[in-house]
Every structure is written in structure tokens, then in C-alpha cells.
């Protein structure tokens, strides 16, 4: 079992969100970040710091770097070190009460919350810095000069080739490089397909799942696309209710956010509908790699590449900051999507595309996904065990895959539970936050818990805090 310093008697209880940036190497950056955390009050006097090994693992630095940084701050009087009681923030350090907001103060996903269990992020402390750097270095060393000129809107061929092989192997996608268009994540794909203020490749009305990401619905609404809510049941979206819509957007591998896969008969039925209507299914494969309990559910696209647009991104598997994604298109849409992108690449950094191509082709992507799958599966198991022990009335669902779980609450308790969580510094959402405003469907009371979001050392405390706010 991994060492978990948050389970010690006096826990820090919060993710430090240390950002190592600026001049002078990792040690200097860590010293600066810790000093700022103390000065700004994010690390209160007396707080015990994580052991070298845990912090080093979270930050992707050597153990000695952390040891040196602690020693320096002890020498400066910011920290104290005592045998048997670890390293702590010195008592006399007075936190700055009204700190001027500056870049070091901004904890990107904390937003004043101590425990961030909102869905939508992988564990960003696990970004594979060394492997990414190695790929990036190799890619740049081998890159022809034209890479640094205006880019091809289809995306680099190296990346489209790597994706063709990877998606076939890992997701059962049937395609070729010329049918892939690189984009800047799923949200960008939606913008390209539906246009901004009209004039896209596809038109509405578009059927969507009755529970989904509000941000995506808003994006479609801003493009003038009317969305029609499809109710969900235990087999996934009720595609039997599809009518005269011009397309349907689904999360077949792992319904977002309720968490089940689309049943095989529904998968076949939605393809039949798209064929009969001469239209298309948009497949949002946002976390398809993360399946824990059985073999991955292959992509719907494999059933009929001419009637499915398969959309993927690295936002859950690597980082939502890279802004890299792909659209696997039926032949008939390729030209229109490329026209929508314009004459040259305006979104997805071409050197980053080459870095990702190497990352995938070298096997580093598979290794990272495997490692993260193991880690997230472990977290899911800890969540399930903690709920069984401390929160009997709460059932957990949607956990065979993905980076979030749905906690089913007793009727009428969702709103008060979310409010209590907010008061106690636990960031999470209720199911109601994902409900289509025009659906009659009622998924019941529940919480959507993003168990991938905290870094490893903060997860135990986040779980304790979560159990503390449940009915």
C-alpha cells in the first residue's frame, strides 16, 4: 500500500496545489512555492507537511529536492523539524490576512475549497512530466523546419497515423489518417461541427442525453442548436424515442454523468436510426480508456464508421490543459470540417501534436493510461469501502468505469447535502446540476463525485470529509 501521510493523526487535510515555476530549478521553485503557501495562509502554523517521498511523488521531483527544500526553510525559520513529529509550519509565522492576489496565490482548482471532488479533472499531480518531456524532445529534434510554420488544419499526419493505430487497438475504432481531424478538445469539436452563431457542418435539432454537461448544452445553444432531451434508464439513453432530430449526441461507453454503458441492443438501434434518417451519431468517448471491471466497451464508431462521428481528447487521460482532441469522421464530413477549420491550424499547437504523436507511438501513452487506471481503480475501491463503512444509506453507482461515481442519496436530501458540503469545504455537484432543463426525467437524488481530482496525498482526507457530509 502506498504511504499516505494524510492518514496521520494531524492531517494537513488539503491539497497543497504547489506550482513549481519560475527561475532557478525545481528546488528553488519548491522553496518559493512553500514559502508563498505559508505566507498566504494556505499552510497554517503547526500544519504537518507531507513526508519527502509523498510530496516528491506528487510533484514529480526527486526525494532529495524535497528534503533540501524543507531543510532550507527550516534554516530560514519558516518550518520546524523535530524527531518523531515530522516537519511542520513554524508557529510564529503569521499568515498574510489580506494577501494581494498574485499568480502564486491562485490555486487553480481549489476555489477556496479544501477538498476538491468535482468531476472534470484527472489527477493533475500525476501528469507524466518526464515521459512527456522525452517525447517532446524527440519530436522536436526530428521535426522538419516546416513544423514551425503555419499548420495543416487536418493536424499533423504523424499524430493522425498514431491515433489511427491506437484507436483501432484500444477502442475498436475503424478509420484511416485522412478521416481524422485534430482539434482542441471535445468542446472545440462541437464548435466546429455546429458553428458559432450558425453556419456549421451539422444542424439541429440534436438529441442529447437528459443528464449531461451543461457547458456542452450551452455551447450548442450559443450555436443556435436546439437540443432535445432523451431520457435514460438502466440500459442507457432511450434511443427508441428518437424521432426527427438531425443527430444524436451520446456518451456510449460511460454515460455522463450517471455512469452506465449503452446496452448492446440500444447501440444497434441508434445505428439503425442514423442509417434510416441519413444522419449521424456523435460519440463522446471522454473516458473510454478507464474501464475497471471488465473488458473495455468498444467504440460505437466500430459498428458503422459512416454514421458515427467519434470524438476523443486527452483531457481525462493526460491533461485538460493540453487542449488536444480528435474527430474521427465519416468520409462525407471531412471536407466540410476542414473548411470550418480554415486555411491553417488556428487552435492546436503543432509542436504539441508532434509531442503527442511520439507519446502515443512510443507506448508511453499506454503505460500512463495503465498506471492511472490502476490508481483510479484503487481510489474507487477506497471510496466504495469508505461509504460502506460510514454512510450506509448511500449507494454508489456508475463505478465500473471512468473518473467519477454517483452516490445515490435518500429522496429529498440532495440539495441540503450539497449545501452542507460547500459549507465544509468539500467541492462536489448534485445530479440536478446536470439535468437538461426541458426533460421530464428525474434521476433521483445523488452526488457526482470526481474521485480522480485530488492528488494522491490529499485523497484520504477528501474521502473522510465526504463521508462527514453525507446523510
Ligand X SMILES: Cc1ncc(COP(=O)(O)O)c(C=O)c1O
Please identify the residue of the shown chain whose CB is closest to the bound ligand X. 185
Spatial separation of the C-alpha atoms in residues 391 and 385, rounded to whole Å: 10
Supply the angle between the helices 456-469 and 364-390 in degrees, to the nearest 10. 30
Contact stretch for ligand X (CB under 6 A) within 90-98, 135-143, 298-306, 308-316: 308-316
Contact between 398 and ligand X by CB under 6 A: the answer reads: no
User: Which window, 163-171, 266-274, 310-318, 381-389, contacts ligand X (CB under 6 A)?
Assistant: 310-318
Least CB distance to ligand X at residue 251 (A): 6
**Contact letters (x/-) for ligand X, 69-98, by CB under 6 A?**
------------------------------
Q: Quote the least distance from Cβ 429 to ligand X, whole Å.
A: 12
Query: Which whole-number Å values give the CA distances from 230 to 181, 233, 238, 241, in the listed order?
Result: 28, 10, 6, 7
> Of these, 66, 117, 213, 228, which contacts ligand X (CB under 6 A)?
213
CB of 185 to ligand X, least distance (A): 3
> Shortest distance, CB of residue 320 to ligand X, whole angstroms?
5
Told to check if 164 binds ligand X by CB under 6 A, we report no
Joined grid coordinates for residue 175: 478509420
Task: Please give the Cα distance from 142 to 139 (Å, whole number).
Answer: 5
Among 313, 353, 417, 455, binds ligand X (CB under 6 A): 313
Taking the mean position of all CA atoms in its chain, how far away is CA 148?
29
Q: What is the DSSP letter of 236?
A: E
- Which position among 42, 316, 341, 368 is part of the footprint of ligand X (CB under 6 A)? 316
Q: How many residues bind ligand X (CB under 6 A)?
A: 14
282 versus 465: smaller Cβ distance to ligand X:
282
Span interacting with ligand X, options 10-18, 73-81, 179-187, 366-374, rule CB under 6 A: 179-187
Closer residue to ligand X in complex, CB, 69/297: 297
User: Which residue pairs from 328-333 have beta carbons closer than 8 angstroms and sit at least 24 positions apart in sequence?
Assistant: 328/167, 328/173, 328/175, 328/179, 328/180, 328/301, 329/179, 329/180, 329/181, 330/179, 330/280, 330/305, 330/306, 331/179, 331/306, 332/306, 333/201, 333/280, 333/309
Q: Is 209 in the site for ligand X (CB under 6 A)?
A: no
Specify which residues 388 forms β-bridges with. Answer: none
Nearer to ligand X, 51 or 260 (CB): 260
Within 10 angstroms of residue 129's Cβ, the number of other Cβ atoms is 12
Residue closer to ligand X, measured from CB, 120 or 259: 120
- Give the binding range for ligand X (CB under 6 A) out of 1-9, 99-107, 315-323, 347-355: 315-323
Q: Which of 212, 307, 221, 202 is nearest to 251 (CA)?
A: 212
Distant-in-sequence, close-in-space partners of 340: CB < 8 Å, separation ≥ 6: 192, 193, 195, 200, 201
In the complex, the smallest distance separating the C-beta of residue 97 from ligand X, rounded to whole angstroms, is 36
Other CB atoms within 10 Å distance of the CB of residue 196: 13
Burial of 278 (0-12, 13-18, 19+ CB in 10 A): exposed
Question: What is the rounded distance in angstroms from the CA atom of residue 334 to the CA atom of residue 32?
Answer: 49
Q: Does 315 sit near ligand X (CB under 6 A)?
A: yes
Residue 455 within binding range of ligand X, rule CB under 6 A: no
Between 224 and 320, name the residue whose CB sits nearer to ligand X: 320
Number of C-beta neighbours around residue 27 at 10 A? 18
| Window of 138-146, 312-320, 380-388, 438-446 that interacts with ligand X by CB under 6 A | 312-320
Minimum CB distance to ligand X smaller for 315 or for 453: 315
DSSP string, 114-162: SEE--SS---GGG--HHHHHHHHHHHHHH--GGGGSPPPTT--HHHHHH
User: 313: which strand partners?
Assistant: 325
CB of 322 to ligand X, least distance (A): 9
Give the C-alpha separation, 47 to 55, whole Å.
15
Per CB under 6 A, contacts with ligand X among 319-338 are: 320, 325
Stretch in the footprint of ligand X (CB under 6 A) among 40-48, 142-150, 203-211, 313-321? 313-321
The three-class DSSP label of residue 447 is strand
User: Is residue 256 near ligand X by the rule CB under 6 A?
Assistant: yes
Q: Kindly report whether the peptide bond that precedes residue 428 is cis, defined as omega within 30 degrees of 0.
A: no
Q: Under DSSP, is residue 471 helix (H, G, I), strand (E, B) or coil?
A: coil
Q: How far is the CB of 12 from ligand X (least distance, A)?
A: 28
Among 273, 286, 326, 376, binds ligand X (CB under 6 A): 286
| Choice between 318 and 458, CB closer to ligand X | 318
The answer to whether 186 contacts ligand X (rule: CB under 6 A) is yes
Our finding on whether 125 is near ligand X (CB under 6 A) is no
Contact residues for ligand X, defined by CB under 6 A: 120, 185-187, 213, 251, 256, 284, 286, 313, 315-316, 320, 325
Amino acid at each position: 500500500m502506498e504511504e499516505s501521510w494524510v492518514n496521520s493523526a494531524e492531517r494537513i487535510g488539503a491539497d497543497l496545489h504547489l506550482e513549481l515555476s519560475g527561475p532557478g530549478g525545481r528546488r528553488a521553485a519548491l522553496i518559493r512555492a512553500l514559502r508563498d503557501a505559508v505566507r498566504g495562509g494556505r499552510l497554517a502554523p503547526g500544519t504537518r507537511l507531507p513526508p519527502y517521498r509523498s510530496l516528491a511523488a506528487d510533484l514529480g521531483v526527486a526525494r532529495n529536492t524535497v528534503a533540501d527544500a524543507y531543510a532550507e526553510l527550516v534554516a530560514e525559520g519558516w518550518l520546524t523539524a523535530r524527531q518523531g513529529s515530522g516537519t511542520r509550519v513554524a508557529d510564529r509565522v503569521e499568515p498574510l490576512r489580506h494577501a494581494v492576489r498574485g499568480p502564486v496565490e491562485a490555486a487553480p482548482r481549489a476555489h477556496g475549497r479544501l477538498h476538491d471532488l468535482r468531476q472534470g479533472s484527472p489527477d493533475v499531480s500525476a501528469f507524466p512530466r518526464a515521459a512527456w518531456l522525452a517525447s517532446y524532445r524527440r519530436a522536436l529534434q526530428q521535426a522538419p523546419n516546416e513544423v514551425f510554420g503555419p499548420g495543416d488544419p487536418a493536424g499533423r499526419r504523424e499524430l493522425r497515423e498514431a491515433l489511427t493505430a491506437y484507436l483501432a487497438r484500444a477502442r475498436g475504432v475503424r478509420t484511416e489518417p485522412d478521416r481524422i481531424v485534430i482539434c482542441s478538445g471535445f468542446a472545440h469539436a462541437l464548435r466546429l461541427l455546429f458553428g458559432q452563431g450558425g453556419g456549421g457542418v451539422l444542424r439541429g435539432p440534436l438529441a442529447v442525453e437528459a443528464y449531461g454537461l451543461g457547458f456542452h448544452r450551452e455551447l450548442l445553444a450559443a450555436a443556435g442548436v436546439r437540443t432535445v432531451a432523451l431520457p435514460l434508464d438502466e440500459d442507457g439513453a432511450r434511443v427508441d424515442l428518437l424521432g426527427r432530430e438531425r443527430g444524436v449526441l451520446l456518451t456510449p461507453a460511460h454515460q455522463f454523468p450517471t455512469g452506465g454503458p449503452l446496452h448492446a441492443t440500444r447501440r444497434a438501434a441508434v445505428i439503425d436510426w442514423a442509417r434510416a434518417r441519413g444522419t449521424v451519431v456523435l460519440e463522446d468517448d471522454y473516458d473510454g480508456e478507464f474501464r475497471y471491471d471488465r473488458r473495455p466497451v468498444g467504440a460505437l464508431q466500430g459498428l458503422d464508421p459512416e454514421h458515427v462521428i467519434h470524438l476523443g481528447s486527452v483531457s481525462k487521460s493526460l491533461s485538460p490543459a493540453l487542449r488536444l482532441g480528435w474527430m474521427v469522421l465519416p468520409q462525407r464530413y471531412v471536407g466540410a470540417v476542414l473548411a470550418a477549420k480554415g486555411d491553417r491550424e488556428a487552435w492546436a499547437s503543432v509542436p504539441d501534436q508532434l509531442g503527442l504523436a511520439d507519446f502515443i507511438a512510443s507506448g508511453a501513452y499506454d503505460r500512463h493510461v495503465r498506471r492511472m487506471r490502476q490508481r483510479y481503480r484503487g481510489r474507487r475501491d477506497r471510496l466504495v469501502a469508505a461509504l460502506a463503512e460510514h454512510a450506509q444509506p448511500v449507494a454508489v453507482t456508475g463505478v465500473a468505469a471512468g473518473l467519477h461515481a454517483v452516490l445515490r442519496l435518500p429522496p429529498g436530501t440532495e440539495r441540503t447535502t450539497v449545501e452542507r458540503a460547500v459549507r465544509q469545504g468539500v467541492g462536489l455537484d448534485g445530479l440536478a446540476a446536470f439535468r437538461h432543463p426541458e426533460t421530464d426525467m428525474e434521476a433521483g437524488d445523488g452526488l457526482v463525485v470526481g474521485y480522480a481530482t485530488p492528488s494522491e496525498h490529499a485523497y484520504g482526507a477528501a474521502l473522510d470529509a465526504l463521508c462527514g457530509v453525507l446523510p
